[in-house]
Chains A and B, each alone.
Chain A
Amino acid sequence: MTTRHIVAVLVFSIVAVFFVFSALMIHPFGDPGSPDMDNHIIKNTQTEAGTNNGVTSVVFDYRGFDTLGEATILFTAVAGVMMIFRRKKR
């Protein structure tokens, strides 16, 4: 057994301990820690955003900035692909 194997086993066991402990400390299912924001959105999405679909109101209204980032990612990806695969000028 070389030093490399010992280091690998050590790192693996440390990471495994971290994963097991974080799995043991997870919230019980259906019991969120602080549901204040959820309750606010569920109660007020029909009067504030005017939609029946709460998910869309979160995505485009309450967290609109996040969707702007997603759209920017899509735009950047398409721009990169077009740059690589563009037609050659003849």
Chain B
Amino acid sequence: MSEMSKIVRTISNVIFPLITIFGLYVIAHGHLTPGGGFQGGAVVASGCIMLLAAYGSAWAFERIKEKRLTAFESLGAVWFIGVAFLGLFVGGIFFANFLVGLKLFDNFTLFGNIPVVGSTLADINTGGVLPLMNFAVGLKVIAGLFAVVLVMAYASSLKEWKK
């Protein structure tokens, strides 16, 4: 992929932060509103792919190493399975939601508040391990999808660079 015109690059510069913020919002509110790790991660990854398409793969080749992206993907996978095994060791069941109602210190709960039963507005401090798993899956999907498209862009433009 070669570089696109200046208009496209400027517009994608303007839109990219908005797309990223929206995707991170979908990931962070996965336990309150529709969406979650997979969906928000796909949104953020498509924003990154838009930048890649606008600036061309030669621009990205010098700046982004795909090995770091795969490291982030593996980190997300390890985080996800680690939280699941914490449920096994602390709560007794694989994928047990051990953080619900658990008071860590005096009055501090990490995502442990229990919402009022009924259709209410819950705060973000609820959900137990679900937000942690949403973050893990979001990291995994962002890094994984972007790494796949990036590596394919590099491979498709290798012939152009050799000429």
Contact = CB atoms under 8 A, between A and B. Distances in A.
A57 B130 contact: yes
In this complex, the interface size class of chain A, counting residues with CB under 8 Å from chain B, is 20 to 34
B154 interface: yes
Interface of B: 30-34, 36, 38, 66, 70, 73-74, 77, 80-81, 84, 94-95, 97, 100-101, 111-120, 122, 126-130, 133-134, 137, 140-141, 144, 147-148, 151-152, 154-155
Contact of A56 (B31, B77, B112): B31
Contacts, number: 119
Nearest to B33: A53
Contact of A53 (B32, B84, B94): B32
A89 to B, nearest CB: 13
A56 B126 contact: no
A49 B100 contact: yes
B36 A46 contact: no
Contacts of A72: 77
A79 B70 CA distance: 8
Nearest to B100: A50
A49 B130 contact: yes
A53 to B, nearest CB: 5
A87 interface: yes
Contacts of B38: 70
